[in-house]
Amino acid sequence: MAYEVKTLPREGGVAEFLAGVEPPRRREQGFELLAIFGEVTGAPAVLWGPSMVGFGEVTYRYESGHSGRSYKVGFSPRKANLVLYGLDWYGSASDLLDRLGPHKRGKSCVYVTNLDKVDHEVLKALIRRAWGSPSPLPEA
């Protein structure tokens, strides 16, 4: 059975999506992240799937044959935390993350509970580094 890519870019909708985020504080932080990512990347925000805001685009193809498109960096304002995508591929940004403030790390994601408690200059440096680096995904 072929793999079906479910997370694809949608036309427009970023502001509308963020306006509907609950609770209100998470909504505010979503708009704040939109401004920060936009400032650093200079790229337009695109809604990917129902809940991810991405900047830039990469295409990839794995040796297994799986291929697709994704955003280079992005975020999702979820109820439990803010998820920041593409900023730490398998520990590549440990030096900056050690200075970010309270967060948790995944394979390529950073989870932040409160944007007010992280160092915004370090966050911008993380985004800048990820944006300027080649994608760790195998190019198509």
pLDDT in tens, 46-88: 999 999 999 998 877 767 777 778 899 999 999 999 999 999 8
In the chain, where are the structural domains located?
Answer: 9-132
Q: For residue 124, give both structure tokens.
A: 């911008």
Q: Could you tell me the pLDDT band of residue 11, with boundaries at 50, 70 and 90?
A: confident
Tell me the fold of 9-132: Aspartate Aminotransferase, domain 1 (3.90.1150)
Q: CA–CA separation, 70 vs 12, rounded Å?
A: 16
- Whole-Å CA distances, 123 to 36, 84, 90, 116, 119: 9, 10, 17, 11, 6
DSSP 138: P
Altogether, the residues listed in the chain come to a count of: 140
pLDDT in tens, 82-139: 999 999 876 778 999 999 999 999 888 999 999 999 999 999 999 999 998 766 555 5
SS3 85: strand
